[in-house]
Amino acid sequence: MNPDFGRSIKSSIIYILVIISISLLTIPASITNNIKVTIASPLAPVQKIISQTSDLFKNSLKKLASIASNTQKNEEMEEELFLLKNKIVKQQDDINTYKRKLEIVSIFKKDNYSDRKPIIADIIGYDVSNFRKSIIIDVGTKQGASVGDIIVFGNALVGRISAIGRSSGRVILITDPASNVPSRFLQSRTQGMVQGTADGTCIMKYVPRQTEINESDKVVSSGIGGAFPRSLYIGDVVEVKQKNAKLFKDIKIKPRIAISKIEHVLVIKKQSVESLSESEVNYQ
């Protein structure tokens, strides 16, 4: 192509555009508006699509932001609900604990006319030895407890304090082999000595062979020697054996209290528990 021809074409186009621009400036506004409308009309559908797309994009962004905000709120609500459920469970457990403590105190007070109030103690530890049977309670000298104080659950004997600290005490259970409780049968009133065994049960020693003893007979503390008050429920006879060569019966006793099933006990000051008559005590 001839370079001069190309330059001529460009010059002509520029000249025409200048003429059109000047002409538009001299045309009345009403006419130019019509021209604008005429030019814009073919582009209207395209502009509408662009506008709708823009609005859709903006709305989508708003929805995404709203969803993100709602998601965060839902997570916060779920966390609050989780914490609230935990709090409810704890409060319910506290209520049940208070009920149990009130119950064991009520049972003791019902069957005991002593004016002295028992000390409520929580069990905070267990001796896991196969040979020793003891528990640790959260009551010590600070709360007024001392060595020799009696430990009960309701009206049943659990053991006695064998060692004491300022805020805790060790309780030797009646199931400990080193524990010996002067006792008697509720029905026959025959006396003997209840001793703990390594298997978590007790035996009643020194019961003459001629004494009639039956399974399910109840055993209570006799109060002999003064270490334990009278008439505290110890347990029930579950086995009676008679060997011809022995002077005494072999009697196995199931303790009234299964220590693994209780969480609280009562500490009774030594010699503060008055003697009870069997008619006053519930041995159910």
Please check whether residue 101 lies inside any domain of the structure. Answer: no
Average pLDDT value for residue range 100-113: 69
| 65 and 204 in a common domain | no
pLDDT number for residue 254: 96
Please check whether residue 13 lies inside any domain of the structure. Answer: yes
The model carries a pTM of 0.64
pLDDT number for residue 43: 47
Among 276, 187, 181, 283, smallest CA distance to 230 is for 276
Using DSSP, state whether 159 is helix, strand or coil. Answer: strand
Q: How far is CA 140 from the centre of its chain?
A: 26
Mean of per-residue pLDDT scores for the chain:
78
pLDDT number for residue 96: 80
Q: How far apart are CA 216 and CA 238, in angstroms?
A: 6
Owning domain of residue 237: 119-273
Residue type, 4: D
Q: For 14-23, 51-60, 100-109, 174-183, which range has the lowest pLDDT when averaged over its residues?
A: 14-23
| 170 and 66 in a common domain | no
Among 235, 272, 228, 281, smallest CA distance to 257 is for 235
CATH number at residue 191: 2.40.10.350
pLDDT number for residue 27: 54
- 170-187, pLDDT tens digit by residue? 999 999 999 999 999 998
Residue type, 188: S
Among 236, 134, 228, smallest CA distance to 176 is for 134
| 49 and 177 in a common domain | no
pLDDT higher than 80, residue 195: yes
Query: Are the beta carbons of 205 and 193 closer than 8 angstroms?
Result: yes
Query: Are the beta carbons of 268 and 152 closer than 8 angstroms?
Result: yes
- 48-75, pLDDT tens digit by residue? 555 666 666 667 677 777 777 777 777 7
Average pLDDT value for residue range 96-112: 72
DSSP summary character for residue 155: T
Q: How far apart are CA 205 and CA 238, in angstroms?
A: 14
- 236-256, pLDDT tens digit by residue? 999 998 877 788 999 999 999
pLDDT higher than 60, residue 123: yes
Confidence bin at 87 (pLDDT 50/70/90): confident
Average pLDDT value for residue range 78-97: 79
The total number of structural domains that make up the chain: 2
pLDDT number for residue 146: 93
Average pLDDT value for residue range 92-115: 71
pLDDT number for residue 116: 60
| 268 and 129 in a common domain | yes
